[in-house]
Amino acid sequence: MSVTIYDVAKKANVSMATVSRVINGNTNVKPITRQKVLDAIEELGFRPNAVARGLASRKTTSVGVIIPDVANLFIADLARGIEDIATMYKYHIILSSSDQQKTKEIDLFYNMLEKQVDGIIFMGTTITDEHIEAFKKANIPVILAATIAESEELASVNIDYYQAIQDAIQFIEEKSKGDIGFVTSPLNNRSNEIRKQSFVDAMKKSGKSDAELEKLIFNSDDTYDSGIQASHYFLGLEEKPETILVSSDELALGVIHGLQDEGLKVPEDIAVVGFDNTRLATMVRPTLTTVMQPMYDIGAVSMRLLTKLLQGEQVEEKQVTLPHRIIERDSTK
């Protein structure tokens, strides 16, 4: 069938151990021997069987990546960041989508353990005790990417969502004294919950009553269409907000278009601020002012952190917080 290390050894008149040394770049091989082996490999078209290697060495050089959904620009950037760094460190990626379902998240996690991945990067919704139990049981490093866990033992890479919303509100208030509406993404996601809480806290601080506050919040499901619905909701209000702060860019496009479809002008009539800074933010008119969440970097840093953990490098801080910032474009005055 296919050519093995043993065939190479025979052809090169050496032992399989020597062949193994050569393919693993072990230095203790005489140059002449090495060349002999290399020639035999070349001639036979030998390619090491990664499965056998994985079994023998207990390392697969693959890492599992669990994300909510591939078909999401925002998450794709994360994936790209992970992949670029993984390639750099010669790791392979086994990628699966959980569709935001908790049971699937956990199933996938165990499946990846069965595959003997060397580590896992996990992006999910809310981290439950069940998640934590699974993570602990795994004897491999797990990194949470753009995913909040209360537990301080878990390695993670995030931005400060609470502060990001505070900053966005401050930014908005510097430009306009009017009300701010808020469109949430689904609250089964901890980071969305935090954003909402941040908004609530800020509004209360400026003296809004619970009743007022409630009207200013629209709970969406994080799709373009629900962005459109959100815009309708706000337009139906007696006291319309002057600015709408939206939990994601895709949602924000929906809001903008929803407003425009009703004949309003953005930002003259109502300003809109997004969140994420995906490519979408510049693919709309007016271009979208948004809170940049560096997804590519979150992916890249997560993967880099994982490689450090995997290679036993010193890691000073397992919980990384990356900077965010407001990117001002034309959807605000």
Partner DNA sequence: CTGAAAGCGCTAACAC
Partner DNA sequence: GTGTTAGCGCTTTCAG
Q: Which residues bind DNA (CB under 7 A)?
A: 1-2, 4-6, 13-18, 20-21, 23-24, 27-30, 32-34, 46, 48-49, 52-53, 55-59
What minimum distance in Å lies between the beta carbon of 15 and DNA? Answer: 3
Q: 5 is in the binding site of which of DNA, its own copies, none (Cβ under 5 to 8 A by kind)? A: DNA
Least gap, CB of 47 to DNA (angstroms): 7
143/67 Cα distance (integer angstroms): 12
120 binds, among its own copies, DNA, none (CB under 5 to 8 A by kind): none
Cα–Cα distance between 285 and 253 in angstroms, integer?
A: 9
- Closest contact distance (angstroms) between CB of 105 and its own copies is 13
What is the chain's Cα-based Rg? 25
> Whole-angstrom Cα distance, residue 50 to residue 63?
14
Residue 265 binding target from its own copies, DNA, none, CB below 5 to 8 Å by type:
none
In sequence order, which ranges of 24-147 are alpha helices (DSSP H)? Answer: 31-44, 50-57, 73-88, 102-114, 129-137
Query: Least distance from C-beta 48 to DNA, angstroms?
Result: 4
Residue 180 binds to its own copies (criterion: CB under 8 A): no
Binding of its own copies at residue 103 (CB under 8 A)? no
- Least Å distance between CB 115 and DNA? 12
Q: How far apart are CA 333 and CA 329, in angstroms?
A: 9
The pair of structure tokens assigned to 58 is: 């207990």
Q: Under the criterion CB under 8 A, does residue 285 sit at the interface with its own copies?
A: yes
Assign 98 to helix, strand or coil. Answer: coil
Two tokens at 195? 């954003």
Q: Which does 33 bind (CB under 5 to 8 A by kind): DNA, its own copies, none?
A: DNA
Q: Is 76 in the site for its own copies (CB under 8 A)?
A: yes
Look at residues 16, 21, 14, 18 and name the one whose alpha carbon lies nearest to residue 6.
16
Residue of the chain from 6, 26, 39, 55 that contacts its own copies (CB under 8 A): 55
- Of 47-55, 123-131, 200-208, 212-220, the segment contacting its own copies by CB under 8 A is 47-55
Single-letter code of the amino acid located at 112: M
Helix (H, G, I), strand (E, B) or coil at 41: helix
> If you search the block for the tokens 């620009």, which residue do you land on?
73
Residue 282 and residue 258 in contact, taking contact as beta carbons nearer than 8 Å: no
> What distance in Å separates the CA atoms of residue 96 and residue 111, rounded to the nearest whole number?
10
Task: Say whether residue 284 binds its own copies (CB under 8 A).
Answer: yes
Q: Three-class SS string for 150-188? A: CCCCCEEEEECHHHHHHHHHHHHHHHCCCCEEEEECCCC
Residues 235-264 that bind its own copies (CB under 8 A): 250, 253-254, 257, 260-261
Q: Do 282 and 256 touch, CB atoms closer than 8 A?
A: no
Contact call for residue 52 and its own copies (CB under 8 A): yes
Query: What is the size of the binding site for its own copies (CB under 8 A)?
Result: 50
168 is written with which tokens?
């966005």
- The stretch near its own copies (CB under 8 A) out of 90-98, 160-168, 202-210, 236-244 is 90-98
Residue from the set 30, 32, 114, 129 that interacts with its own copies by CB under 8 A: 114
What 3-state DSSP class applies to 297? helix
Cβ nearer to DNA, comparing 55 with 237: 55
Sites of contact with its own copies (CB under 8 A): 2, 45, 47-52, 54-55, 60, 62, 69-73, 76-77, 79-80, 83, 87, 92-97, 110-111, 113-116, 137, 139, 224, 250, 253-254, 257, 260-261, 279-280, 282-285
